[in-house]
A and B are shown apart, each in its own frame.
Chain A
């Protein structure tokens, strides 16, 4: 049984399909049509809702795309919809500000903006433009040009005061705390392969996997859910990894930054950026805020997509990954995990458990570049990550890894080796870039031509060299100092 709070109403689901999305539930079953379907792929944000959950710091609200979130994943949480923001006929401050600033025209995207703004209102974010852009990065509006929405958001953040939700906070925390959130049984089903399971421990996970070997892993479901919403394929057996102890936490110690495979990007952000602040722009561009509230490293590695943005960073940083099963675990370099187009060396019965990043080495240089048509929430034309450890201006270690250039994430050990020992500031970068370009054989696709990909990758190496040798030259159009907040 799945239990959650729909606004203030406790809901129990017993016979709902494992792959029903939150959006389907809201519109079809609950009759709450304020939440809209614009794309059913997590790209437009018309379906944005806010989910509240108890954390060690108390109740926390986050925006997510209800169209690609499975309703059973709400177990033990509260889902807030736009209808609930109106109290006794009074608009919530974020709604009121949108009206006063003329922030809606056709109005179809508006409920999604309202919910993203509501999550922002209840966050610690400063009342600054960057924070607003980040919070609304997953909401598309085709009518307004966004200016009035930005103005409304800034005003309401500047005048932030308590709302009805603050008054209810303790009651909700208590209700969620009491809510039955044990493992979903789903066992009375005739077919043992049908279900949505939420194991709490690695042991339970192993057992679930044994009894439902064909079930699919689900964490953020930002990619998986598309099989249903875009390809009309039913997903009968789903194992939710986000409740597995150890898979949902980050540990930072002397040996590294250990990120559970089911930790969302928003949750790994502080630890990652503390050691590697240069990854800020890359993280901002990796996906919109609601996507980063759901997406995980385990998911991005597991799908092994050639355009995944995390493998290039992880490979360039020399990260490792622990693969585990009921029988033990093994730790391998991330570079070896992905074996082909959307293929990994994950065995039956195994799961991606933890990603291990090395701690920052003093003096090292990192740049994570992403090239796409649009700055926010776009798929990489090319993702290029460069990592350099200099020793007295000579290259002691250099690692580069790329997305969007081959059927798998790409790295070039021979090319890297050829640079080791060279004097970095006086390196013939044109020649190094030419040799890099010679190694590349990408394809033409909807995002760009092969020719552009090769040109831009070589140029990104030049940029890396420029940025690590010349501080007097402006080299970026985008302000990489975007504010970050969960």
Chain B
């Protein structure tokens, strides 16, 4: 017999501490390679021979019909090897993710300013970009629909209006002692993943394609590339090692660029790389949905809400993309953490001649939540109470007042205790006093304070997506190869799932090799989205590990003549009764005795049901909770401000990796703060995106990090059976900085001694804040 191999991890060489096991703050699996510059992204891969570089030509009007497109000059341009238009698509021309409406290139009608008209491949990136400028076209311009108002007037929608109704809201509203109403415009957000969209496609000998892409949804890229080319899915393989950030922007909208590269690869027979320059990425890919939301609340003298009528309007852009689920999620979160009494929630989906807005961390939830938080501030001002007092009064109850507008009972509410703890840890009431005193003494600089909660529903609201698969191989040196359907975009998913597997086998984390997500290893996967990556893939990987482990136990029971309960996997060893073997030794013995060392694992989320027609059910397995207290200083002369202190207490259940979870909380907070403060999308009146570069679209920079930034994890396990009782963490923290927006509004309100709730849209730019101060002065004058 050939010698098997030396055991990779023999007994005693593995650290006895369970470093890297579930629950430990292990460094990100790629951290060392990332700081060394050796972690590869799509554009860093060694280039295959005869590689071509692609670029796209973009429409320069927002609406109209394409009368002619001349690409002769593009073809003649230096270095050009191929050009594709919609007429060069052999298979499906529409790549809509869920519903149709997304032609892979302009198909007659111009849908938005920046829509790709054609794609060109050339010997170099520069040549492709130059060539893309050479096309000529005639477009008969139409009248672009650009606002919610115009869309409503034109009855332009990308989906049916949805309504939740719980109780007789209109009667309850009428009967409530007090009523307030309001409207808020909430801006969208550019993802600004640092790595732009990129795909590298290599034609295979059978007409298929090998696709390397930066996508959160390899399976969808596989499906769409196959459909566009008109080949079976099994001829397309998609590989995603990592993304340089995704945040939802590469859930559905990475596919188009892979499809275009594949079309060019098919045409030229050569490998093609398409990566978008930042300006093209910003113009041609969707963003967080802007919303225009209206609300009417009935409440008593204590500010306790008795009835609610809430309308959310998502600006979806030209196509459905994921917008229906996004507006649904805005509706699901328009209660945030509060019992609304008799309630009606309506969600409209406006169709506009702008880029098709898409998933972005929170997926509509943040825009729903903003609305009710703005409303609660208004109630507090109306009854003359501190907003925190009113918020606490309105929290969901545990035994009663615990049913949402969509008829789901909130079973796991921990917010009353969580908020109380944060209230104490952050010295909310002491600081409230100090701030009031400060504001009385300072006419120019005003401070503001706010503590706001988050309750975020975890699960895909499309039930079928709540499933995952994994694949584990154990090699005869004891090393473990792990694959699952989730993708790594920086969130630490690969690290956490590897920790799960290492824990199951009782081996060091280094024994588990995580590798690219590939459609030929784990098929038919869901996007890595909805914060569900670890919940789903962690469970699937655990199931795969347990399958193999069970085989090993059965083998050992038989082989060593022991009982199953005499076998333990720990510290890289296997204890079999009074015998200690290294994990590799057991694996080798199992191999020699013809035990399969490879297994798939599968998981589907339990308990979910949703009746879309009635707007009722249990769309979420559980909720993730958190709260943040933010303090700001506002310059009333200019509207500029600083965020001075932030305290966060957040619920991740039993953390799989506290370092990664805290990273998600901090990063989500700052990203959400950017959405609500400095990040302002602007279009001109012809539908051209003005904020089209990092020169004029400002994500938070390092100086925006609050000098005092305390983040703590709420020490309580998930009550549901999730992977090691952890909770999802990707999206929920993004909504914690609603406290920053509320604190800014609090600072403005101080100008009129908190008697008036100032009008304020999002983002709260210096300009909006200065005019909010003006508005409050005007309101004061009118009142006196």
Q: Which residues of A contact B (CB under 8 A)?
A: 27, 32-41, 43-44, 46, 81-83, 85-86, 91, 95-96, 98-100, 102-111, 114, 129, 132-133, 136-137, 139-150, 230, 232, 288, 371-379, 381, 445-449, 452, 455-456, 459-460, 462-463, 466, 473-478
Interface check B617, CB cutoff 8 A: no
Instruction: Assess whether B690 is in contact with A463, with CB atoms less than 8 Å apart.
Output: no
| Per-residue contact bits, chain B 535-565, to A (CB 8 Å; 1 contact, 0 not) | 0000000000000000000000000000000
User: How far apart sit A144 and B491, CA to CA, in the bound complex (Å)?
Assistant: 10
User: How far apart sit A273 and B35, CA to CA, in the bound complex (Å)?
Assistant: 35
Instruction: Specify which chain A residues have a CB less than 8 angstroms from the CB of B696 in the assembled complex.
Output: 379, 446-447
Instruction: Assess whether B195 is in contact with A106, with CB atoms less than 8 Å apart.
Output: yes
User: How far apart sit A376 and B703, CA to CA, in the bound complex (Å)?
Assistant: 7
Instruction: Specify which chain B residues have a CB less than 8 angstroms from the CB of A41 in the assembled complex.
Output: 278, 693-695
Instruction: Assess whether B31 is in contact with A142, with CB atoms less than 8 Å apart.
Output: no
| Per-residue contact bits, chain B 635-679, to A (CB 8 Å; 1 contact, 0 not) | 101111110000000000000000110110011111100000010
Instruction: Assess whether A82 is in contact with B492, with CB atoms less than 8 Å apart.
Output: no
Q: Which residues of B contact A (CB under 8 A)?
A: 25, 27-28, 30-41, 43-44, 126, 129-130, 133, 191-196, 242-247, 277-279, 442-445, 489-492, 633-635, 637-642, 659-660, 662-663, 666-671, 678, 680, 682, 690-691, 693-696, 698-705, 707, 709, 765-767, 770-771, 774
Instruction: Assess whether B705 is in contact with A146, with CB atoms less than 8 Å apart.
Output: yes
Q: Given A85-B36, A105-B28, A145-B669, A137–B278 Cβ distance below 8 Å?
A: no
Partner of B36, one of A40, A95, A447: A95
B738 CB to closest chain A CB, in angstroms?
16
Known: A105-B491, A107-B34, A142-B192. 9 other contacts (CB 8 A): A38-B278, A91-B36, A104-B34, A106-B193, A106-B244, A140-B694, A374-B701, A381-B766, A478-B640
Instruction: Specify which chain A residues have a CB less than 8 angstroms from the CB of B690 in the assembled complex.
Output: 445-446
Instruction: Assess whether A477 is in contact with B634, with CB atoms less than 8 Å apart.
Output: yes
User: How far apart sit A111 and B44, CA to CA, in the bound complex (Å)?
Assistant: 13
Q: Which residue of A lies closest to B689 (CB)?
A: A446
Instruction: Assess whether A129 is in contact with B707, with CB atoms less than 8 Å apart.
Output: yes
User: How far apart sit A376 and B130, CA to CA, in the bound complex (Å)?
Assistant: 33
Instruction: Specify which chain A residues have a CB less than 8 angstroms from the CB of B196 in the assembled complex.
Output: 38
Instruction: Assess whether B667 is in contact with A145, with CB atoms less than 8 Å apart.
Output: yes
User: How far apart sit A143 and B662, CA to CA, in the bound complex (Å)?
Assistant: 12
User: How far apart sit A374 and B705, CA to CA, in the bound complex (Å)?
Assistant: 12
Instruction: Assess whether A40 is in contact with B277, with CB atoms less than 8 Å apart.
Output: yes
User: How far apart sit A321 and B294, CA to CA, in the bound complex (Å)?
Assistant: 57
Instruction: Specify which chain B residues have a CB less than 8 angstroms from the CB of A82 in the assembled complex.
Output: 35-37
Instruction: Assess whether B671 is in contact with A142, with CB atoms less than 8 Å apart.
Output: yes
Q: Given A140-B194, A452-B771, A148–B37 Cβ distance below 8 Å?
A: no
Instruction: Assess whether A232 is in contact with B126, with CB atoms less than 8 Å apart.
Output: yes
Instruction: Specify which chain A residues have a CB less than 8 angstroms from the CB of B490 in the assembled complex.
Output: 104-108, 143
Q: Can you name 14 A-B residue pairings with CB atoms under 8 Å?
A: A33-B40, A36-B194, A40-B277, A82-B35, A102-B31, A105-B28, A106-B244, A114-B37, A129-B707, A149-B702, A372-B698, A452-B771, A460-B637, A463-B638
User: How far apart sit A83 and B35, CA to CA, in the bound complex (Å)?
Assistant: 9
Closest 7 A/B residue pairs (Cβ): A34-B37, A106-B490, A108-B244, A107-B34, A145-B670, A82-B37, A105-B490
User: How far apart sit A110 and B41, CA to CA, in the bound complex (Å)?
Assistant: 13
Q: Given A473-B442, A475-B445, A137–B702 Cβ distance below 8 Å?
A: yes
Partner of B699, one of A33, A107, A140: A140
Instruction: Specify which chain B residues have a CB less than 8 angstroms from the CB of A81 in the assembled complex.
Output: 37
B25, B37, B191, B247 pick with most chain A CB within 10 angstroms? B37
Instruction: Assess whether A478 is in contact with B642, with CB atoms less than 8 Å apart.
Output: yes
Instruction: Specify which chain B residues have a CB less than 8 angstroms from the CB of A148 in the assembled complex.
Output: 663, 666
Instruction: Assess whether A147 is in contact with B709, with CB atoms less than 8 Å apart.
Output: yes
Instruction: Assess whether B244 is in contact with A36, with CB atoms less than 8 Å apart.
Output: yes
Q: Which residue of A lies closest to B634 (CB)?
A: A477
Q: Which residue of A lies closest to B35 (CB)?
A: A95
Instruction: Assess whether B35 is in contact with A104, with CB atoms less than 8 Å apart.
Output: yes
Q: Given A102-B27, A102-B663, A374-B678, A133–B770 Cβ distance below 8 Å?
A: no
User: How far apart sit A297 and B39, CA to CA, in the bound complex (Å)?
Assistant: 38
Instruction: Assess whether A142 is in contact with B38, with CB atoms less than 8 Å apart.
Output: no
Instruction: Assess whether B660 is in contact with A102, with CB atoms less than 8 Å apart.
Output: yes
Q: Given A43-B695, A473-B444, A459–B637 Cβ distance below 8 Å?
A: yes
Q: Which residue of A lies closest to B643 (CB)?
A: A477
Instruction: Assess whether A448 is in contact with B767, with CB atoms less than 8 Å apart.
Output: yes
Instruction: Assess whether B126 is in contact with A145, with CB atoms less than 8 Å apart.
Output: no
User: How far apart sit A40 and B279, CA to CA, in the bound complex (Å)?
Assistant: 9
Q: Which residue of A lies closest to B683 (CB)?
A: A446
Instruction: Assess whether A91 is in contact with B32, with CB atoms less than 8 Å apart.
Output: yes
User: How far apart sit A110 and B33, CA to CA, in the bound complex (Å)?
Assistant: 10
Instruction: Assess whether A34 is in contact with B694, with CB atoms less than 8 Å apart.
Output: no
User: How far apart sit A459 and B36, CA to CA, in the bound complex (Å)?
Assistant: 48
Q: Which residue of A lies closest to B767 (CB)?
A: A452
Instruction: Assess whether B192 is in contact with A83, with CB atoms less than 8 Å apart.
Output: no
Q: Given A82-B36, A147-B709, A38–B195 Cβ distance below 8 Å?
A: yes
Instruction: Assess whether A110 is in contact with B34, with CB atoms less than 8 Å apart.
Output: yes
Q: Given A40-B278, A142-B193, A142-B699, A474–B444 Cβ distance below 8 Å?
A: yes
Instruction: Specify which chain A residues have a CB less than 8 angstroms from the CB of B774 in the assembled complex.
Output: 455
B31 CB to closest chain A CB, in angstroms?
5
Instruction: Specify which chain B residues have a CB less than 8 angstroms from the CB of A477 in the assembled complex.
Output: 445, 633-635, 640-642
User: How far apart sit A372 and B680, CA to CA, in the bound complex (Å)?
Assistant: 12
Instruction: Assess whether A36 is in contact with B442, with CB atoms less than 8 Å apart.
Output: no
User: How far apart sit A95 and B32, CA to CA, in the bound complex (Å)?
Assistant: 8
Q: Which residue of A lies closest to B644 (CB)?
A: A477
User: How far apart sit A446 and B671, CA to CA, in the bound complex (Å)?
Assistant: 21
A91, A375, A473 pick with most chain B CB within 10 angstroms? A375
User: How far apart sit A374 and B278, CA to CA, in the bound complex (Å)?
Assistant: 20
Q: Which residue of B lies closest to A95 (CB)?
A: B35
Instruction: Assess whether B633 is in contact with A452, with CB atoms less than 8 Å apart.
Output: no
A479 CB to closest chain B CB, in angstroms?
8
Q: Given A107-B242, A230-B279, A44–B704 Cβ distance below 8 Å?
A: no
A117 CB to closest chain B CB, in angstroms?
10
User: How far apart sit A442 and B414, CA to CA, in the bound complex (Å)?
Assistant: 52
Q: Given A41-B695, A82-B37, A146–B766 Cβ distance below 8 Å?
A: no
A308 CB to closest chain B CB, in angstroms?
14
Instruction: Assess whether A99 is in contact with B671, with CB atoms less than 8 Å apart.
Output: no
User: How far apart sit A377 and B694, CA to CA, in the bound complex (Å)?
Assistant: 10
Instruction: Specify which chain B residues have a CB less than 8 angstroms from the CB of A144 in the assembled complex.
Output: 663, 666-667, 670
User: How far apart sit A137 and B668, CA to CA, in the bound complex (Å)?
Assistant: 20
User: How far apart sit A455 and B246, CA to CA, in the bound complex (Å)?
Assistant: 39
Q: Which residue of B lies closest to A46 (CB)?
A: B194
Partner of A459, one of B28, B193, B638: B638
B193, B444, B491, B642 pick with most chain A CB within 10 angstroms? B444
